Amino acid sequence: MRVFYLFIIASVLLGACNTKVTEPVTKNHLSLNTDSAKIKINKEIYGHFSEHLGTCIYEGIYVGEDSKIPNINGYRTDVVEAMKEMKVPVLRWPGGCFADTYHWKDGIGPKKDRPSIVNVHWGGVTEDNSFGTHEFLNFCELIGTEPYLSINVGSGTVQEAAEWVEYVTSTNKSPMTDLRKKNGREEPWDVKFWGIGNENWGCGGDMAPDYYADIYRNYSCFVRGHNFQKIICGPSGGDTYWTETILEGLKGKMHLTQGISMHYYTLPTGDWGSKGSSTDFGEDMYFKTIRNTMEVEKYIQSHLEIMDKYDPEGRVKLIVDEWGTWYDKLPDSKEGFLQQQNTVRDALVTGINLNIFNNHADRISMANIAQIVNVLQAVILTQGAEMVKTPTYYVFKMYNVHQDATLVPVEFESELYEFEGESVPAVTASASIKDEVLSITLTNANPNKAAEIMCDLGKEFEVVNAQIVSGNEITDYNDFGKEEKVTIKDFEIEAPANGKLKIEIPAHSVILVQLK
Is 502 domain-assigned?
no
Percent of the chain beyond pLDDT 90? 93
* Per-residue pLDDT at 105 exceeds 50: yes
Rounded (5°) CA angle 139-142-147 = 50
Asked if the model's pLDDT at residue 389 lies above 80, the reply is yes
Chain centre distance of CA 452: 28
Using one digit for the tens of pLDDT, what is the confidence trace for 29-52? 999 999 999 999 999 999 999 999
Q: Is residue 474 part of a domain?
A: no
For residue 156, cis peptide bond before it (omega within 30 degrees of 0): no
Contacts of 185 (CB under 8 A, 6+ apart): 134
DSSP state, 496? P
3-state helix/strand/coil string of 322-368: EEEECCCCCCCCCCCCCCCCCEHHHHHHHHHHHHHHHHCCCCEEEEE
pLDDT surpasses 90 at 167: yes
pLDDT at 305 over 50: yes
Q: What is the pLDDT of residues 225-246, one digit of tens each?
A: 989 999 999 999 999 999 999 9
From 179, 59, 49, 203, select the one nearest 120 (Cα to Cα): 203
What is the DSSP code (8-state) at residue 60?
Answer: T
Please write the tens of the pLDDT for every residue from 330-351.
999 999 999 999 999 999 999 9
- Percent of the chain at pLDDT > 70 equals 95
Distance CA 421, CA 270 (A): 18
**Is there a contact between 141 and 84 (Cβ–Cβ < 8 Å)?**
no
Q: Residue 61's domain is classified under what CATH number?
A: 3.20.20.80
Examine residue 301 and state whether it is found in any structural domain, yes or no: yes
Domain assignment present for residue 451? The answer is no
Distance CA 299, CA 471 (A): 30
What residues are paired with 126 via a beta bridge? 118
Q: Is 322 among the residues known to form the active site?
A: yes
pLDDT for position 117: 94
| Distance between CA atoms of residues 362 and 406, nearest Å | 11
**DSSP readout, 71-132?**
EETTEEHHHHHHHHHHT--EEEES-SGGGGG--GGGGSS-GGGPPPEE-TTTTT-EE---S-
Which domain covers residue 97, as residue numbers?
A: 43-403
Residues 6+ apart with CB under 8 A from 18: none
Residues 129, 117: contact at Cβ < 8 Å?
Answer: yes
Query: Average of pLDDT values for 354-376?
Result: 98
Query: What interhelical angle do 158-169 and 133-143 show, nearest 10?
Result: 40
Judged against a pLDDT cut of 70, whether residue 148 lies above it is answered with yes
What pLDDT was estimated at residue 468? Answer: 98
Answer whether residue 436 is part of any domain: no
26: pLDDT strictly greater than 80: no
| Phi, then psi, of 214 in degrees rounded to 5 | -65, -45
The whole-angstrom separation of Cα 106 and Cα 113 is 9
More confident residue, 458 or 420: 420
Q: Does residue 272 form part of some domain?
A: yes
- Report the chain's mean pLDDT, rounded to a whole number: 94
Report which of 125, 119, 122, 140 is spatially closest to residue 75, judged by C-alpha positions.
140
Average pLDDT over residues 313-324: 97
Q: Residue 17: pLDDT band by 50, 70, 90 thresholds?
A: very low
Q: What secondary structure does DSSP assign to 262-293, as a single string?
A: EEEEE-SSS-TT----SSS--HHHHHHHHHHH
Confidence of residue 13 (pLDDT cuts 50, 70, 90): very low
Q: How many CB atoms lie within 10 A of CB 509?
A: 23
Grouping H, G, I as helix, E, B as strand and the rest as coil, residue 40 is strand
Q: Per-residue pLDDT averaged across 289-298, rounded?
A: 98
* Catalytic hit among 199, 297, 413, 415: 199
* Domain-located, residue 416: no
Let me know if residue 250 belongs to a domain: yes
Can you tell me the mean pLDDT for 366-387? 98
Report the 10 Å Cβ neighbour count for 249.
18
Q: Looking at the 3D structure of the chain, how many domains does it have?
A: 1
**pLDDT for 397:** 98
Give the model's pLDDT for residue 14.
33
Q: What is the mean pLDDT of residues 480-490?
A: 97
Nearest C-alpha neighbor of 341 from the set 376, 386, 385 = 376
pLDDT of residue 463: 86
Active-site residue among 44, 322, 413, 415? 322
Assess whether the previous peptide bond of 94 is cis (omega < 30° from 0).
yes
pLDDT of residue 18: 38
